[in-house]
Structures are given as C-alpha cells and as structure tokens.
Amino acid sequence: MITYPNCKINFGLHVVGRREDGYHDLETIFLPAPLSDTLEIEKSEEFRFAQDGIAIEGSAEDNLVVKAYRLMQRETGIGAVTIRLTKKIPFGAGLGGGSSDAAFTLKMLDELFDLQLGSARLKGLASQLGADCAFFIDNVPSYATGIGDILTPLGFNPIEGMKLRIEKPEGESVSTAEAYRGLGTERGIAADRERRVLLTEAAKERPERWRELIVNDFEKSVFAGHPRIAEMKERFYDEGAVFAQMTGSGAAVFGVWEA
C-alpha cells in the first residue's frame, strides 16, 4: 500500500493565550497543500522501518511514523509491518510534514488491517502524536482552535483556483519552542486579539484584503531572528503575489497568485 502524505499551510495564525498546562491556545486555518512525502506500508513477519530522501536526525523510534505504528499496535494489537518513508517535505518549516506522515500511517494501518476505526477514533489517536496530526485524518480545509486539535471544517478553500507556491530559505529552520519564546506578554496577546477580525470571516474577504486582515503572530519575532524568511515573503510580493505569509512557526513561506 502506498500513499502520499501532503503538507499543510496555516492561513493566518493567532496565539490567543497561554494555558495552565503550559501550551498556548491558537486560532488558525489549516489548508492542505500539494507538497508530499511518499509512504509505503505492507504486512511483514517482523517490524522494519526505512527512510530516505531528506535526512532526519534521531533514531527510528523517534520518528512520528514509528510512533504512530507503536500507538496503533498498543491500541489494536495489529501485527508487524514494513514501512518505507521517502521524505520530501522539509522539517522545521511549519508545514506539518511529520504530523502528516503520522496521520497517514494511522489511516493506512486502519485500512491494511481492516480495523474500521472511523474518523473520530483516528483523530483521537492522532491527537496523542501531535497537536496538528488530527487535521490530516480528514485532510480538508479546517478552522482550528485549542492547541490546533479542535477542528471545524471550513466548508470552502479560500485559495482554490489560485496559484500556490511554497518555499523555505535554504539552511533556515525554526523550532516551535524558539517561535513561542519570541511572543509578547499575555497582556500584549490579549490586546492584539481585541483588534482582530475572526479568521473565518477574513478568509471570505476579497484576496486583495487578506494582507491587511490575516496575520501570523509568529512572524514578528521569527523575522527578527531570521531576516531571510522576511526577505522571501517580500520577494513573493515583489513577484506579484496577492498574498504571502510565513506558515506555522516557520521557516517556510507561501504565496498565492491569481490564476
């Protein structure tokens, strides 16, 4: 069995505030994007995992694909498989590539072993692996709140029919921890929130208004430490993009052009 786990972009990202558990509540729109990895899974006598493409540091057991298999094995008692992952989605980019790989692993195992767990159960399992993993189960444009795990289908894709380009400056990588460290005070976050248009409403506006209405709260601090990311965003505008923004906590930037 072979699938192509796709990445996502964040169409706007608001940090609403810090939770008691140390995480932050967010408001964002997840949109599926076409850049994909390749994932193959087949039943085997013993578990095997192989990965090529973009090199990923760490042991195999640290890979979200392997963690997804181990979780499914504990929950359902499935047998051994051989997994081959070809990595094309860059990491440290805000594209959710690892989360997508994990979610697709769960879906493939569900089908391969005819478990028939259903979307809700798979989302519950995915949420144990990462905040944005659950999005890739249904993989449709969604409004996300909580830590990114409370999902409401958007019902439309604001960039449908537009030309999308995603680039990551060579050598740039931003950890989520670094991005959060650069956020302002809780008072500043709250004040910003009062001035904002709800993302679901902003997404319905004409594309030429998105630049003034839709923001990514991580951009200010990330751009200060990584000016090449800011330069890429401006280059997209110089090349005629109707809207451009850093996705997630960076370092990738996307731009959209009228078709």
DSSP string, 60-84: GGGSHHHHHHHHHHHHH----EEEE
Mean pLDDT (the chain, rounded): 92
Residue 167: strand pairing partners:
253
**pLDDT computed for residue 196 by the predictor:** 64
Q: Domain boundaries in the chain?
A: 2-153, 163-257
> What is the C-alpha to C-alpha distance for residues 33 and 36, in angstroms, rounded to an integer?
8
217 is catalytic: no
**pLDDT computed for residue 190 by the predictor:** 46
Radius of gyration of the chain (CA): 19
Phi/psi of residue 64, each to 5°? Answer: -65, -30
**pLDDT computed for residue 192 by the predictor:** 53
**pLDDT computed for residue 16 by the predictor:** 87
Reduced to 3 states, what is the DSSP secondary structure of residue 59?
Answer: coil
**pLDDT computed for residue 21 by the predictor:** 72
State the helix-helix crossing angle for 97-112 and 118-127, rounded to 10 degrees: 140
**pLDDT computed for residue 160 by the predictor:** 97
**pLDDT computed for residue 138 by the predictor:** 98
Quick one: fold of 163-257? Alpha-Beta Plaits (3.30.70)
Q: What is the CATH number of domain 2-153?
A: 3.30.230.10
132 is catalytic: yes
Among 167, 2, 145, 197, residue whose Cα is nearest residue 90: 167
Catalytic residue among 8, 87, 107, 123: 8
User: Do 163-257 and 2-153 have the same topology in CATH?
Assistant: no
Q: Which residues of the chain have pLDDT under 50?
A: 185-191, 194
Query: CB-side exposure of 173: number of CA atoms within 13 Å?
Result: 6
Catalytic residue among 132, 168, 217, 233: 132
> What is the C-alpha to C-alpha distance for residues 243 and 139, in angstroms, rounded to an integer?
23
